[in-house]
């Protein structure tokens, strides 16, 4: 028989050998461990107390000490655990450092503030983000640091520009929670932007004071966007403004739909593609120009000089673009790569990607939860792995052909790497996205971005006309491709939403396959396959109730039936998208009418005379949902807006479990305090088709 002690010794030796074989490849594991710590913090059901955080800090120090003591054996494992603890601590620190007042009630009255950002809402309304906010009868310590107001109706008295101080009469509310339990948490998103109120105005906004010049950079961005839109014209001008300075206000809704359906919307986000193309063009131009001067090329490190020029160019582009999180992340990645050149290191390695990820997560831990971070690093990591593996195995090609081939290959790799993430977040896949990108990304990389740099260099001399003309041709081609591909049959495939464990499981499995050196890397295939299996088996809730009480959705044999053809349109679109259905609220409302076959289900009351029907609805139904606080008899589960404030959106699963948004959000700083939730047990008996009386 085998000696157990000898067997344990052999296993220990093999494990130590496996760990030591990772020397020189451990930095990616550090970045992954840091991300795991950040993710663990955001998944906690309760905000950790100071005592708990102190204990975690001590555990991190102990892990680092053990890692140093066992550095020749299991020290790496201890360090990884310590880094995970550090990630959790930094995420907690970031959460409390951005704390700002949040409205606790619906506000209507005078709103005054300084414009710091102008964009458009999903309904194509102009939207202003204001700081230095003043609200009527509200003390400064209770006033939100930032608010966001959509401008509805005609605005004849204001041409919004950054730096202006404006006043209006409007509605503000606290940021809304998820549209369904486990969905995107806008309250958390707004918390990290210090945004304490969102709303709208239907009256004209007025200019209270002109721009004093404090926000000169934002004003420069606005002027450049207006100039590009005017000089290039049409939708190409709007796209040019988006690519140059991140201003999408000039792009209409149909164009945006075409770009999304063709999987080309990423060309509008100033991210890794744009930052890399711009920095790469500046780097290659400077290096190529210096190479033509023989005394300099032979005696001096012109490659490093080119990197030194490209770095401030990228930094200026970061500032000019508005400095969104996606652009900041892209700049950090480019800066790390340029720094590698200055240090005589390879620019594109997993080490550089890991360093960039660590910097981004240490600076903005909440970025881990966003699709921008996930898609950007998925694409970059995949390209580094594939191109590193191809090094030395590709034929030599002419310079122009090699560049175009590299762009095409990058598009295919990035599209494949980001497709699952995009499908999980946006519930759709552009089935011909590879074709659209193959036809468009080379144009963006070889024509549009280089000419944008040339136009910027020539504009002080008034010679940018030819460059802008070339940009217009390139952008017109991209828009034509997007419209053509979006118009193909089956261009857009709708995907049901996965459970919240699918993406972490898939990413960790893929990262293990990439980072681990040796045959054990293929262990990562198991969680990746399990993630797709879980995705396919994830059931959608049988019943959904919006947090406002204004909409109810129930699964039927024809798809989700909605209780109203209009109202809570944003919620309706999110529910239908998560079901993998077209975002047609009227069509979904028609299913409700067709399947109203029983008087023993769920009743939704709204409109005139709803109060008169409350008692009857309570007698014949398990639960009643209403969009107003009507009087209800004792013993009736009456879900009014006041009751729903304590629960948030509600879901009833296929097996009868009742889940609320407050339960999935947990007791966290960005979740408003709520009263005692009612007993929702009667909802588990809602099995039949819905009934409604409009």
**Per-residue pLDDT tens for 641-669?**
988 988 999 999 888 889 999 999 999 99
Average confidence (pLDDT) over 57-70: 91
Residue 1 confidence (pLDDT): 46
Mean pLDDT lowest for which of 365-374, 554-563, 596-605? 596-605
| 117-131, 393-407, 502-516: which is most confident | 502-516
pLDDT at 678: 79
pLDDT of the residue at 336: 83
Any idea how long the chain is? 694
Q: How far apart are CA 177 and CA 168, in angstroms?
A: 26
Is 80 in contact with 70 (CB distance < 8 Å)?
no
What average pLDDT does the chain have?
Answer: 85
How would residue 170 be classed by pLDDT, with cut points 50, 70 and 90? very high
Cβ contact 414:383 at 8 Å: yes
Residues 508 and 581 in one domain: no
- Is residue 282 domain-shared with residue 198, that is, in the same domain? no
- Residue 599 is predicted with a pLDDT of 41
With respect to residue 661, please indicate whether it lies within any of the assigned structural domains: yes
Regarding whether 548 and 525 lie in a shared domain, the answer is: no
> Is pLDDT at 273 greater than 80 in this prediction?
no
C-alpha torsion sign, points 223, 228, 233, 236: negative
Is the pLDDT at 470 greater than 60, yes or no?
A: yes
Average of pLDDT values for 386-406?
A: 67
Same domain, 483 and 521: no
3-state secondary structure of 199: strand
Does 330 fall in a domain?
no
The answer to whether 457 and 451 are in contact (CB under 8 A) is no
Q: Is residue 353 one of the residues assigned to a domain?
A: no
Q: Give yes or no for residue 693 having a pLDDT over 50.
A: no
Domain boundary among 97, 116, 134: 97
Look at residue 271 in the predicted model and tell me its pLDDT. Answer: 67
Domain-embedded: residue 249 = no
Range 376-404 average pLDDT: 73
What pLDDT score was predicted for residue 667? 92
Domain carrying residue 152: 107-214
Q: Looking at the domain assignment, is residue 382 inside a domain?
A: no
Yes or no: say if 515 and 29 are a contact pair by the CB < 8 Å rule: yes
Residue 15 pLDDT exceeds 70: no
- 398 confidence band (pLDDT: 50, 70, 90): low
Distance CA 132, CA 108 (A): 18
For residue 596, is pLDDT > 50?
no
333 to each of 31, 349, 357, 452, 603, how far by Cα in Å?
A: 14, 11, 8, 21, 53
Band of residue 694 on the pLDDT scale cut at 50, 70, 90: very low
pLDDT of residue 186: 94
Q: How confident is the model at residue 393 (pLDDT cuts 50, 70, 90)?
A: low
pLDDT at 608: 83
- Specify the pLDDT at position 268: 77
Highest mean pLDDT among 166-170, 422-426, 485-489, 564-568 belongs to 166-170
Same domain for 506 and 488: no
Please say which residue of 53, 73, 97 terminates a domain: 97
Mean pLDDT of 124-143: 92
Residue 180 banded pLDDT, cuts 50, 70, 90: very high
| More reliable by pLDDT, 562 or 403 | 562
Query: Are residue 637 and residue 594 in the same domain, yes or no?
Result: yes
pLDDT of residue 257: 86
Q: Distance (Å, rounded) from C-alpha 598 to C-alpha 610?
A: 19
Is residue 58 one of the residues assigned to a domain?
A: yes
| H-state helical runs in 292-324 | 294-299, 302-320
**pTM across the whole model:** 0.87
In a domain, 329, yes or no: no
**Block residue for tokens 């995420």:** 91
| Mean pLDDT of the region 228-237 | 88
Instruction: Extract long-range pairs of 452-460: CB within 8 Å, 24+ residues apart.
Output: 452/240, 452/243, 452/244, 452/278, 453/278, 453/281, 453/282, 453/285, 453/313
CB 640 within 8 A of CB 549: yes
Cβ count within 10 A of residue 656: 13
Residues 85 and 157 both lie in one domain:
no
Phi and psi torsions of 532, nearest 5°: -65, -35
Looking at the fold, whether 38 and 155 belong to one and the same domain comes out as no
The residue from 63, 97, 131 where one domain ends is 97
482 and 405 fall within a common domain:
yes
Distance CA 666, CA 677 (A): 14
Mean pLDDT of 78-106: 94
Is the model more confident about 526 or about 623?
A: 526
pLDDT at 593: 66
Region 201-223: mean pLDDT is: 84
Residue 272's pLDDT is what?
65
Percent of the chain with pLDDT over 70: 91
Tally of CB atoms within 10 A around 275 = 25
Region for 520 from its dihedrals, namely left if φ exceeds 0, alpha if ψ lies in -120 to 50, beta otherwise: alpha
Which pLDDT score, from 0 to 100, does residue 547 have? 92
Written as six digits, the tokens of 689 are: 């088709």
Quote helix, strand, coil % in the chain, to nearest 5.
55, 15, 30
How distant, in Å, are the alpha carbons of 119, 150, 212, 235, 396 from that of 221? 13, 21, 16, 18, 42
Render pLDDT for 312-352 as a digit per residue (tens, 0 to 9).
Answer: 988 888 887 776 666 777 788 788 888 888 888 776 678 88
pLDDT over threshold 90, residue 70: no
Can you give the pLDDT at residue 662?
Answer: 92
137/210 same-domain check: yes
Is the residue at 38 inside a domain? yes
Burial degree of 3 (CB within 10 A; 0-12, 13-18, 19+): exposed
Query: What is d(CA 272, CA 327) in angstroms, rounded to the nearest whole number?
Result: 7
Q: Are residues 150 and 263 in the same domain?
A: no
Phi, psi of 305 (to 5 degrees): -60, -40
- CA 576, CA 541: separation in Å to the nearest integer? 12
Q: What average pLDDT score do residues 535-557 get?
A: 90
The dihedral region occupied by 492, where left means phi > 0, alpha psi between -120 and 50, and beta the remainder, is beta
Count: domains in the chain: 5
pLDDT exceeds cutoff 50 at 600: no
Residues 400 and 431 in one domain: yes
| pLDDT for res 204 | 92
* pLDDT value at residue 190: 95
């Amino acid at each position: 028989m085998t000696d157990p002690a000898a067997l344990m010794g052999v296993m220990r030796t093999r494990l130590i050998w496996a760990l030591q074989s990772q020397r020189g490849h451990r930095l990616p594991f550090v970045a992954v461990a840091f991300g795991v710590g950040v993710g663990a913090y955001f998944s906690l059901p309760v905000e950790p107390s100071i005592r708990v955080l102190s204990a975690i800090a001590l555990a991190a120090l102990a892990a680092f000490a053990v890692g140093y003591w066992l550095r020749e054996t299991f020290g790496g494992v201890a360090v990884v655990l310590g880094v995970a603890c550090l990630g959790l601590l930094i995420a907690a620190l970031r959460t409390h450092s951005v704390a700002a007042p949040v409205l606790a009630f619906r506000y209507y009255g005078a709103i005054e503030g300084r414009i710091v950002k102008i964009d458009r809402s999903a309904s194509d309304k102009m939207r202003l983000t204001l700081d230095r906010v003043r609200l009527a009868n509200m003390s400064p310590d209770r006033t939100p640091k930032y608010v966001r107001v959509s401008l509805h109706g005609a605005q004849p008295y204001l041409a919004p520009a950054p730096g202006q101080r404006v006043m209006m009469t409007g509605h503000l509310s606290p940021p809304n929670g998820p549209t369904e339990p486990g969905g995107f948490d806008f309250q958390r998103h707004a918390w990290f932007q210090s945004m304490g109120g969102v709303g709208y105005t239907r009256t004209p906004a007025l200019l209270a004071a002109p721009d004093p010049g404090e926000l000169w950079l934002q004003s420069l961005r606005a002027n450049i966007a207006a100039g590009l839109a005017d000089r290039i014209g049409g939708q190409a001008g709007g796209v040019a403004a988006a690519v140059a300075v991140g201003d999408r206000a000039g792009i209409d809704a149909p164009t945006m739909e075409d770009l999304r359906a063709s999987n080309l919307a990423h060309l509008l986000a100033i991210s890794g593609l744009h930052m890399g193309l711009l920095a790469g063009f500046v780097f290659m131009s400077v290096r190529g120009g210096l190479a033509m001067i023989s005394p300099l090329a032979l005696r001096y490190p012109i490659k490093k000089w080119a990197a030194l020029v490209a770095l401030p160019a990228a930094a200026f582009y970061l500032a000019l673009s508005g400095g969104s999180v996606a652009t900041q992340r892209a700049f950090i990645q480019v800066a790390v790569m340029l720094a590698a050149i200055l240090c005589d290191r390879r620019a594109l390695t997993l080490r550089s990607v890991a360093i960039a990820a660590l910097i981004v997560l240490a600076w903005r831990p909440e970025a881990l939860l966003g699709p921008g971070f996930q898609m950007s690093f998925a694409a970059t990591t995949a390209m580094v792995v594939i191109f590193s593996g191809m090094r030395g195995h590709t034929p030599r090609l002419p310079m122009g052909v090699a560049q175009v081939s590299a762009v095409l290959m990058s598009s295919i790799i990035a599209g494949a790497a980001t497709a699952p993430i995009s499908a999980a977040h946006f519930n759709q896949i552009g089935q011909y996205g590879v074709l659209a990108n193959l036809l468009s990304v080379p144009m963006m990389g070889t024509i549009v971005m280089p000419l944008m740099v040339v136009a910027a260099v020539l504009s002080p001399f008034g010679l940018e006309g030819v460059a802008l003309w070339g940009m217009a041709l390139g952008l017109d081609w991209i828009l034509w491709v997007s419209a053509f591909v979006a118009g193909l049959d089956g261009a857009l495939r709708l995907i049901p939403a996965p459970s919240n464990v699918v993406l972490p499981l898939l990413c960790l499995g893929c990262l293990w396959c990439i980072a681990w050196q040796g045959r054990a890397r293929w262990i990562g295939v198991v969680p990746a396959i399990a993630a797709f299996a879980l995705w396919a088996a994830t059931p959608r809730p049988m019943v959904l109730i919006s947090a406002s009480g204004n909409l109810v959705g129930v699964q039927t044999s024809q798809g989700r039936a909605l209780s109203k053809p209009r109202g809570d349109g944003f919620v309706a679109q999110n529910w239908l998208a998560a079901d993998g259905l077209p975002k047609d609220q009227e069509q979904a409302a028609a299913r409700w009418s067709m399947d109203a076959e029983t008087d023993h289900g769920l009743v939704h009351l709204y409109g005139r005379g709803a109060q008169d029907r409350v008692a009857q609805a309570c007698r014949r139904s398990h639960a009643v949902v209403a969009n107003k606080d009507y009087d209800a008899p004792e013993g009736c589960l009456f879900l009014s807006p006041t009751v729903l404030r304590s629960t948030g959106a509600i879901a009833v699963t296929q097996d009868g479990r009742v889940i609320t948004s407050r339960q999935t959000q947990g007791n966290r700083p960005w979740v408003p305090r709520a009263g005692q939730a009612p007993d929702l047990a009667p909802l588990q008996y809602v099995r039949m088709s819905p009934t409604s009386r409009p």
